[in-house]
Amino acid sequence: MSDPLLELDDVYKSYGEEQVLSGVSFEMDAGDVDVVIGPSGSGKSTMLRCVNRLTEINGGDIYLDGDCITDADTDVNELRKQVGMVFQDFNLFAHLTALGNVTLGLRKVRDMDKATAQEQGYEHLEQVGLLDQADSYPAELSGGQKQRVGIARALAMDPKLLLFDEPTSALDPELVGEVVEVMRDLAAEGITMLVVSHEMGFARSAASDIIFLDDGQIVEHGPPEQLFENPQAARTGEFLSRLETAHEEE
Amino acid sequence: MPPFPLQSDWAFVAGNLDLLLAGTGITIGLTAASILLGFLLGFPAGAVEVYSRGPLKRAVESAGVVLRGTPLLVIIILLFFGLSVSSSAFVTATIALGLRSAAYQSQIFRGALQSVDEGQLEAARAIGMGRLQAIRSVVVPQALRRSVPGFQNEFTIVLKDTSIAIVIGLGELLTVGQNLYQGGQSTAALEIFLTVSLIYFVLTFVTNRSLDYVDDHFSIPGGERA
């Protein structure tokens, strides 16, 4: 059997006295879409950021495609070429057009010539349905469009794994759909995705596995039908019902 | 008939306009050289204050505090008469104005660099850029745009402060005016210094308008005005 694409092995992270991750372990295979849910402050985003080492762990190991990426001698820039990230607040480069955002990495990191980079840039913008906005600057785009540019920017690097850090939580409700739709397309294309999100529709229909994180630990990990319909842990059930109530109140 | 009728005072200024314009040339040259030196030192200094830690950062910050806390007049006299850094008044004035400007420009750039949100730097790192490259490709282009208004002020200040070079005898605009008056050839003090003021005004006005144009030209569509 081949190695899992991503493996977290007993990962610990603390900020000073505050323990954020306390022995997190899980694996995902190529093509999997895992959705991480959990209360705010449970360590979801931190866990995600540990995978591309925007945040450094204090203990344990993380493996990507069989290679330990948390060794001291790992080249983080090489690692990050293989792991794309989509941010909650988009973090688009404000001085560049949509196309410029998508091609910057191709030009500066992959050393592509301008014409090739642009050709690929247009392809990725088309993939997220934004070909007609290629020349728009971030400030001229809606939130949903910004996030789709963010996704195209990450896709352009042709990563083995895409990380999504609450990609829809900064969006107006009516703009969530267009982003989720793009994510669904990517999932269907077999792109490996680790997604922190409370978009239950996406989680139910697109996820291979749901990971419920609470207090820095994985409380429950399983396919969506099991976790949503028949949660094994009491805490999972409580969290899901709170989430449901919150949704109804909206 | 009074010895110096009013009309002849203006005629005196008009007759010496070539000297005043030559002085203006030196003023422009001194401003350009000082601003350039200030930029070459001030921009890296601002970047060091934002991105560096340890002794380099402390050294840069201290130099800035000292330069900003010393009157320009004192700096220029100290450099020329005290340290004799150069026998050329122009070079000395450039160093004095350039150092002082660097201290102020560093703060303009520091603020501008800090104003670009951290998330963009993080996003650049997340696609595999090194820290320096991310700063260069993502933060600096935006920071430079946001520096224009502050830079505009600094340009105007340096332009006018070139007049301080009068104390080391550099033949810039104000010195030329002063010499015309003090040479005892004329009582046209008012006319001479009004003309000198007008020239300074035209220079600052043109400079400001040009920088307004730069600001417009490089502003990011849909984004905030720099």
Distance CA B113, CA B47 (A): 7
Instruction: Return the DSSP state at B53.
Output: -
Query: Model confidence over A105-134: pLDDT tens digits?
Result: 999 999 999 999 999 999 999 999 999 999
Tell me the three-class secondary structure of chain A, residue by residue.
CCCCCEEEEEEEEEECCEEEEEEEEEEECCCCEEEEECCCCCCHHHHHHHHCCCCCCCEEEEEECCEECCCCCCCHHHHHHHEEEECCCCCCCCCCCHHHHHHHHHHHCCCCCHHHHHHHHHHHHHHCCCHHHCCCCHHHCCHHHHHHHHHHHHHHCCCCEEEEECCCCCCCHHHHHHHHHHHHHHHHCCCCEEEECCCHHHHHHHCCEEEEEECCEEEEEECHHHHHHCCCCHHHHHHHHHHHHHHHHC
Query: Model confidence over A33-51: pLDDT tens digits?
Result: 999 999 998 999 999 999 9
Q: Is residue A150 part of a domain?
A: yes
Q: How far is CA A178 from CA A146, A168, A185, A250, in A?
A: 11, 10, 11, 19
Contact B75, B85 (CB under 8 A): no
Query: Model confidence over A72-82: pLDDT tens digits?
Result: 899 999 999 99
Beta-carbon pairs below 8 A across chains A and B: 81
**Percent of chain A residues past pLDDT 70, beyond the cut:** 98
pLDDT at A250: 57
Q: Is residue A230 part of a domain?
A: yes
pLDDT at B7: 62
Contact A131, A125 (CB under 8 A): yes
Map residue B88 onto helix, strand or coil: coil
Q: Which token pair is A125?
A: 């913008």
Q: Which CATH number do you get for residue A225?
A: 3.40.50.300
Q: Are strands A161-165 and A193-196 parallel, antiparallel or unpaired?
A: parallel
Q: Is residue A36 part of a domain?
A: yes
Residues in chain A with CB shorter than 8 Å from the CB of B130 are 77
Locate tokens 């899980």: which residue?
Answer: A26
Q: Is residue A147 part of a domain?
A: yes
A148 Cα to chain B: minimum distance (Å): 14
Among A243, A90, A20, A183, smallest CA distance to B126 is for: A90
* Contact yes or no for A80 and B119 at CB 8 A: no
Distance CA B83, CA B116 (A): 40
B39 Cα to chain A: minimum distance (Å): 22
Q: Which amino acid is at B91?
A: V
B132 Cα to chain A: minimum distance (Å): 12
Residues in chain B with CB shorter than 8 Å from the CB of A153 are 123, 127
Q: Is residue A83 part of a domain?
A: yes
Residues in chain B with CB shorter than 8 Å from the CB of A102 are none
Q: Is residue A88 part of a domain?
A: yes
Residues in chain A with CB shorter than 8 Å from the CB of B127 are 80-81, 84, 104-105, 109, 153-154, 157
Q: Which amino acid is at B36?
A: L
Beta-carbon count within 10 A of A92 CB = 26
Q: Which token pair is B171?
A: 């033949």
Q: Is residue A11 part of a domain?
A: no
Locate tokens 């501008």: which residue?
Answer: B112
pLDDT at B225: 46
pLDDT at A78: 94
Contact B19, B176 (CB under 8 A): yes
* Among candidates B117, B120, B129 on the partner chain, residue whose Cβ is nearest the Cβ of A109: B129
Q: Is residue A188 part of a domain?
A: yes
pLDDT at B10: 87
- Averaged over A214-230, what is the pLDDT? 94
Cβ neighbours of residue B222 under 8 Å, at least 6 residues apart? A136, A137, A138, A139, A140
Q: For the whole prediction, is pTM greater than 0.90?
A: no
Distance CA A192, CA A33 (A): 6
Number of domains in chain A: 1
* Contact yes or no for B119 and A87 at CB 8 A: yes
Mean pLDDT (10-residue bins), chain B, 226 residues: 62 90 96 97 96 94 96 97 95 98 97 95 96 96 94 95 95 92 79 94 95 91 63
Show the domain range for A164. Answer: 32-41+77-207+218-248
Cβ neighbours of residue A2 under 8 Å, at least 6 residues apart? none
Q: Are strands A83-86 and A33-37 parallel, antiparallel or unpaired?
A: unpaired
Instruction: Return the DSSP state at A73.
Output: T
Cβ neighbours of residue A228 under 8 Å, at least 6 residues apart? A200, A203, A204, A210, A240
ipTM: 0.92
Find the chain B residues whose C-beta atoms sit closer than 8 A to any C-beta of A.
116-117, 119-120, 122-130, 133, 137-138, 141-142, 145, 220-224
Contact B110, B150 (CB under 8 A): no
